[in-house]
Structure 1
Amino acid sequence: MATSSPHPISPYPIGTPGKPWADAEKAQWRSRQARKRSYETDVLGKVARLRERFDAVEYGHLDYPPDRYPLLALKSRAWREDLPGALVTGGVHGYETSGVRGALRFVDEHMADYEGRANLIVAPCVSPWAYERINRWNADAIDPNRSFRSDSPARESAALMRLVAPLSGRILVHIDLHETTDTDESEFRPALAARDGKVFEPGEIPDGFYLVGDEENPQPEFQRAIIAAVAEVTHIAPADARNEIIGSPMVAPGVINYPLKRLGLCAGITDAKYKTTTEVYPDSPRATSEQCDAAQVAAVRAAIDFALARR
């Protein structure tokens, strides 16, 4: 069942209710964001070890003084122009931990299985500043996962689009790894409402794994195959009393659809036939962090296997 999540009764501590943030409020918000973990240790260190088996490319860097972050992706070493492409992205929202860990674990344990069958490219942590601060936004108080468009204000999103642009027509499948957490209701949606000068309206957090497909190209069999694979690892989120998940109609068990490109979502950055966003619920009493990471890996494998079987 969907779960009600804690939400603040008092106004968000930054800004004036009903008034969008200006630069001063964004600076105040930024000053509250402390580094809690290390991108260098958790991501760059693992990428360095994976370089022994796969090609690593630096596709950009982020300068948020005094911090500077190289943006890295891992690619199949036996790259062939005649093979279909598979794109895996994680950490678009830096606080969604299993997306980062799941992407790196997939590379370590399974990426070599696809050599000679597909060209894989994995960007495991798209938003390193947010990863270190366990936040949804980047340092400019911008949500990268609403910013994948040609005039993107998010440097993280723009860099990934530049990496993918030359490959867009050759990507068969793209899976973008995310989480839905209790802090969506306790922190990030209230912050969004405050930033935009709107009223925060509490919602519900789905208890379990679900997928967000493409409203314009839903591919229901593809989504069902991923759900079936993940169900062997962890539980699938049911619909709420309105037969919805996070306010959208459930079109199949554990599946909703969004207009990916129109919303500027990462899963919409290519014209891949098969695309989806995963959503793991790490705060569930029924799931461990190991299950969350394993669910992301299972989803990636099922997505690529389905697409290659039907190319």
Structure 2
Amino acid sequence: MTSSSFYPIGTPGTPWGPVEVVAWRARQSRKRSYADEVLGRVDALRAHFDIAEYGRLDYAPESYPLYAVRSRDWNDTLPTMLVTGGVHGYETSGVHGALQFLERDASRYAGRINLLCVPCVSPWGYERIHRWNPDALDPNRNFREHSPAQESAALWGLLAPLRGQVRMHIDLHETTDSDESEFRPALAARDGKPFEPGTIPDGFYLCADSARPEPDFQQAVIAAVARVTHIAPADPDGTIIGSPVVAHGVIEYDCRRLGLCAGITDAHYRTTTEVYPDSPRATPAQCNDAQAAAVCAAIDYALAHP
């Protein structure tokens, strides 16, 4: 089955050029407000954290400030824990789970860790509920030096001085039904490849980094989240989204080779969460709770296993 069966832009078998990207961008519309839903909550954290603008996305006529939330009393003798959300802007609980963690849970780690959190890496995508940026680039395939994706390049620049100092990095994501109905067909069309239908896992799972999988760390996060929402079972062929399940609720990717956010530092412990917000067994609040629980479990494990 070809991508033309599902996606209205481009010629089957031919990768997109600038004309197709412009046509795709024209189909995207602003559906929610980064300023109201994200920046307002970040600003409210100033009483307890240092807030820094680490970059700005210039997508004329729009411009988006990018903010990082840092421990106020940064101490180089303490372990550094990194939390990122909204790399894919449409993955709502990645953004709001990170904010919820900052608002409700982060205070209990004061004086014990250096916390650095970027709640929304991709605000243009957040507003349009989309995976890509305006150039039809996926930020989570472009975390590398001299990245063509502004979102990825800005975060790379922020983290470059800390790359060897981060003990734990957790990157908060979702897998949604729209992955199969919109984003994978669009990807196939963009790249001039056939669209091959897949499956959407019902439940939470983790993507470990195959370069440093740390299975006990992954299972500690899974155990914490299982108290909040259900863990995705493997498909009959033993995979989740086509990748072999290596442990309960865990698959692996080569994060650095693929340009994924979880591979951006040399963190000893690193993982990517995947919440399923479209499940009839999960509510939006439950999804946010699952993300926050995953962050706490990841920090707790990294503190207990230096």
TM-score by length of 1: 0.97
Q: What amino acid maps onto 2:271 in structure 1?
A: T
Tell me if 1:56 matches 2:51. yes
Q: Is the 8 A contact 2:170 2:295 kept in 1?
A: yes
Query: Could you say which residue in structure 2 is the equivalent of 1:107?
Result: 102
Could you report, residue by residue, the CA deviation over 1:6-33 in whole angstroms, capped at 9, with x for unpaired residues?
Answer: x988241001111111101000000010
Could you report, residue by residue, the CA deviation over 1:255-284 in whole angstroms, capped at 9, with x for unpaired residues?
Answer: 001001000000000000000000000000
Query: Could you say which residue in structure 2 is the equivalent of 1:76?
Result: 71
Query: Could you say which residue in structure 2 is the equivalent of 1:151?
Result: 146
Compute the displacement of 1:151 (Å): 2.8
2:30 is paired with a residue whose SS is: coil
**How many residues align structurally?**
305
Distance 2:231 2:3 in 1: 28
| More displaced 10-residue stretch of structure 1: 269-278 or 8-17 | 8-17
Q: What amino acid maps onto 2:103 in structure 1?
A: D
Distance 1:68 1:18 in 2: 35
Q: What amino acid maps onto 1:182 in structure 2?
A: D
Tell me if 1:36 matches 2:24. no
1:78-227 to 2 correspondences below 5 Å: 78-227=73-222
Tell me if 1:294 matches 2:278. no
Query: Could you say which residue in structure 2 is the equivalent of 1:4?
Result: none
Could you report, residue by residue, the CA deviation over 1:104-142 in whole angstroms, capped at 9, with x for unpaired residues?
Answer: 010011111111111000000000000000000001100
Q: Structure 1: any 5+ residue segments left out of the alignment?
A: 1-6
Q: Is the 8 A contact 1:8 1:186 kept in 2?
A: no
Tell me if 1:277 matches 2:272. yes
2:23 is paired with a residue whose SS is: helix
Q: Is the 8 A contact 1:85 1:120 kept in 2?
A: yes
| Cα RMSD, aligned residues only | 1.1
Taking structure 1 as reference, are residues 19 and 8 closer, same or farther at Cα in structure 2, changes over 3 Å only? closer
Of 213, 217, 230, the residue aligned with 1:235 is 230
Q: Is the 8 A contact 2:3 2:194 kept in 1?
A: no
Distance 1:179 1:298 in 2: 15
Distance 1:9 1:191 in 2: 10
Compute the displacement of 1:52 (Å): 1.2
Taking structure 1 as reference, are residues 197 and 9 closer, same or farther at Cα in structure 2, changes over 3 Å only? closer
TM-score by length of 2: 0.98
Q: Is the 8 A contact 1:11 1:17 kept in 2?
A: no
Distance 2:14 2:43 in 1: 45
Could you report, residue by residue, the CA deviation over 1:198-232 in whole angstroms, capped at 9, with x for unpaired residues?
Answer: 00000000000000001011100000000000000
The alignment-based identity, stated in percent, is 67
